[in-house]
Amino acid sequence: MKKLLLIDVDCGVDDAQALMMALASPSVEVLGITCCYGNSLLENTCRNVLRVLHVCNKLEIPVYRGASAPILGGDLLEEFFHGKDGLGDVPDPSAPGLDLLQEEHAVAAILRTANERPGQVSLVATGPLTNLALAVKMDPTLPKKLKNVFIMGGNTEGRGNITVCGEFNFASDPEAAYIVLNEYTCPVYIAAWEFACSFPLSWDFYDEYVNQNTEKAEFMKKIYAHSLEISKTEHPGFVSCDSYAMAAAIDEKFVTEVTVIGVSVELSGSLTRGMMVMDWNDKLKKENKAFVIKSCDLGKFQVLMMAALK
């Protein structure tokens, strides 16, 4: 049986890389893609997902418009690492229109999909967790109906990439991250910021990845060009953050070591708001521990990444 994935994204370039990995995997069926603000505005997220589906010839997969702002409102974190539109600001006159979006809201789609296939669906989240938080608040029984959840977000050592101690997805909506980590009782796997940075691919691999002489590879080369030079100064290798969470969802053998631990999110610290808290001494007495990914099989990861652009 194929693995059934429902994917929640804020479609920047690394989300696109993760999506293309899932779409190319013969062991996976993508049931739908729900969209959230994050790397750019919600409308851009939706448009970007449709662009990815278009280049992958998968426009039959339903796409749902979701949250446009954090649960408590406020300004969005304007980093624009992947360009203002989230996909490198590359003009695309052939991009599909937003009329292809489903009328159903993303949160309703998450609840319906879980109800239709209880215990079978893996939910993969690569953006702010607002849609997931709203879904569990609408139906607290949702986690019991999911097979598991895979999250790219949070941090294990307090190393921030957008604030002093906050990783971008969690810091974009700390309340949503708090709700998800405390109310999702199904198995939750977390690919945190420091984990992704600890397992980079070489820049030689990146060159091979985007020079496969396919339409998908050419697309990826164009949309990543905006952030390529910055990435080379910040990382010793190619780090496709969201792809690590996706690889874990696709192939359980990709993950070679986890830390089983209670986790939460700091909401009020002046320097630590949005930071994932690792409960090393079990002070929180949480029954449902998270599986925080500690190590992975980079060989399997390379195979999945290369296959995404073939």
Q: Print the domain residue range for 303.
A: 3-151+193-248+298-308
Instruction: Give residue 76's pLDDT band: very low, low, confident or very high (50, 70, 90).
Output: confident
Helical packing angle, 298-308 and 13-24, nearest 10°: 90
pLDDT at 4: 98
List, for residues 128-140, the tens digit of each pLDDT value. 999 999 999 999 9
Q: Which of the residues 10, 15, 173, 251 is marked catalytic?
A: 10
Rounded to whole angstroms, how far apart are CA atoms 157 and 79? 22
Task: Compute how many other C-beta atoms are within 10 angstroms of the C-beta atom of residue 7.
Answer: 31
45, part of any domain: yes
Q: Is the dihedral of CA 2, 48, 253, 106 positive or negative?
A: negative
Establish if 276 belongs to a structural domain: no
Task: Give the tens place of pLDDT for each residue, 157-195.
Answer: 999 999 999 999 999 999 999 999 999 999 999 999 999
pLDDT at 81: 81
In a domain, 71, yes or no: yes
Please state, as a whole number, how many other Cβ atoms lie within 10 Å of the Cβ of residue 88: 20
Question: Quick count: other Cβ atoms within 10 Å of Cβ 180?
Answer: 26
The pLDDT of residue 36? 98
Question: Which of left, alpha, beta for 163 (phi over 0: left; psi -120 to 50: alpha)?
Answer: beta
* 199-222 tens-digit pLDDT: 999 999 999 999 999 999 999 999
Enumerate residues 6+ apart whose C-beta is below 8 A from 296.
195, 199, 244, 247, 248, 254, 255, 256
| For the chain, percent of residues with pLDDT exceeding 90 | 92
The CATH number of residue 62's host domain is 3.90.245.10
* Domain-embedded: residue 283: no
Answer for the pair 191, 296: CB distance below 8 angstroms, yes or no: no
Active site residue 10: yes
On average, the pLDDT of the chain sits at 96
pLDDT at 77 over 90: no
Q: Answer yes or no: is pLDDT of 234 > 90.
A: no
CA 269-270-273 angle, to 5 degrees, is 50
Residue 97 lies in a domain: yes
- Domain total of the chain: 1
Taking residues 261-267, what's their average pLDDT? 98
Order of all β-strands in the sheet with 188-191: 63-65, 28-35, 3-9, 121-125, 148-152, 188-191, 290-296, 255-261
Residue 278 in domain:
no
Whether residue 291 is contained in a domain is answered as no
Examine residue 163 and state whether it is found in any structural domain, yes or no: no
